[in-house]
Amino acid sequence: MKIRRVLQDPSFPSLLMLILLVVVNAIIQPEFFSFQVFRMNCMTFAPLILASLAQATVILVGAVDLSLGAGISLLTVVMASLMKDSAASIIGVTALGVCLALFLSLFNGFFFGYFGPPPLIMTFATSTMWFGISLLIMPTPGGYIPATYYGIYSKTVGGFLPVPVIVLLVAIAFCLLLGRLKAFRHLYAVGGSERAALASGINVASIKIFAFLISGVFTALAALCVVGQTATGDARSGQGFTLNSVAAAVIGGISFSGGKGNYAGAIFGGIILGLLTNIIYFANITSFYQEFMKGVIIIVALLFGALPRLRRALLPSREVVR
């Protein structure tokens, strides 16, 4: 019964894919299982995993957020231009960054929830806005991030817990908490069938805003990690995250039409994309081919998503109970 539930979980194909990639990666990168490599991987993967969680939330409610990457860029720019060496400043600016992330997602959520424009175009528009503001603040990459801040990001607590892992654990704990909230259940209902949600007396607009707000929390965490990793503000630093996060969510078995899938899939998808870059690097593929290969492998990963259909054909269907 339990096994069947795991097999039928929408994120299951991505788990298989993940295991496969870990094996491949371990073969071509001899020290893959060493603590040092693990720490480095966590540091590089954490932002994309968090961005995937943010994107997953929005996709689950039946929308998509193209402004996610530009939002991350804007946060790095703002933080890099304001942060000073004092502890108060580091804490204050970090808090400000989180608030700004929530504000940006609230802005998206408000318009999407109350006026219902196509989210694709709507968030494309806001992404251009965020990008414009970032350029205005910081036309060229730069700014200042105190060593204390990015030092923390590469620290290891207690000799075995790298800080990025702690950030991810916090995010996972947040996911688990969300799973027990009424609003989160309603988020799936709205994504699954907006009409049914309406008929059940659910306030659809506020659930949509809620979804964007949650996504803002993850975006904020992602941006904090990016700043810790790059230690600069860059109006283009977030660009890659937008579509990579969408790809990660979809690879992770989250239905693009909403209402189906879960956070586990988004996490798997994020790690898969990270490992892909790793593998391509260690396989000594010419850098010209790297992007091309990545695309090919993403398509393969998406085909993996077609597994549920195969599985349905293979597993016997439920007996009709009367």
Partner 1 sequence: MKVLEAKGIRKTFAGVRALCDANFSLLAGEVCGLVGANGSGKTTFARIVSGLLIPDGGELRLYGQPVDLRSHLHAELYRMAMVHQNLSLVSEMTIWENIVLGREETGPLTFLNNRKAIAQAEMVLDAISVKIPVRERVKNLSPDEKQLVEIGKALAKDPRILILDEPTASLDFQQVESLFRAVRKLKERSVSIIFISHRLWEITEICDRLVAFRNGETMGQLDFASQPRDERLIIPLITGQELRERARKDASLREQEISHKGAGGPALEMRGVSLDDRLCEVSLTLRRGEILGLGGLQGQGQEEILMILAGYLKGHTGEIFVNGKLVPLRNTRHAIRQGIALIPGDRHKEGLFLEHTVLSNLLYPKISLHRGSFLLPMGRYQKLAADAIHTVSVEPRNPRLIVSQLSGGNQQKIVVAKWLALSPGILLMNDATKGVDVATRQNLYAMISLLAENGMSVILYASDNEELIDNCDRVLIVFEGRIVKEIGAEEISDEKLVIFSLNIEHSGEKAAVAGPQG
Binding site for partner 1 (CB under 8 A): 180-182, 185-186, 188-189, 192-193, 195-197, 199-202, 255, 259-260, 313, 317-318, 320-322
Quote the least distance from Cβ 209 to partner 1, whole Å.
17
Return d(Cα 127, Cα 299) in angstroms, integer.
26
Give the helix/strand (H/E) hosting 161: strand 161-162
CA pseudo-torsion sign 288, 292, 294, 296: negative
Q: Does residue 101 contact residue 215 with C-beta atoms inside 8 Å? A: no
Our CB check for partner 1 shows the closer of 165 and 205 to be 205
Q: Considering beta carbons, is residue 193 or 290 the nearer one to partner 1?
A: 193
- Do the beta carbons of residue 273 and residue 247 sit within 8 Å? yes
The number of residues making up the chain comes to 322
59 membership: H or E segment, kind and range: helix 35-60
Q: Which is nearer to partner 1, 117 or 179 (CB)?
A: 179
Are the C-beta atoms of residues 91 and 82 closer than 8 Å to each other? no
Are 277 and 287 in contact by the 8 Å Cβ rule? The answer is no
The span from the CA of 95 to the CA of 90, in Å, is 9
Q: Given the complex with partner 1, which of 4 and 284 has the nearer CB atom?
A: 4
Cβ(81)–Cβ(143) below 8 Å? yes
Least CB distance to partner 1 at residue 288 (A) = 40
Distance in Å, CB of 51 to partner 1, minimum: 24
Min dist. Cβ of residue 195 to partner 1 (A): 7
If the CB atoms of residues 84 and 185 are measured against partner 1, the closer one turns out to be 185
Residue 33: Cβ within 10 Å count: 11
Closest contact distance (angstroms) between CB of 61 and partner 1 is: 12
Name the token pair of 153.
């990001």
Choose between 69 and 191: whose C-beta lies nearer to partner 1: 191
Beta bridge pairs of residue 157: 161
CB of 265 vs partner 1, minimal distance in Å: 14
Least separation in angstroms between CB 199 and partner 1: 3
143/253 with CB nearer partner 1: 253
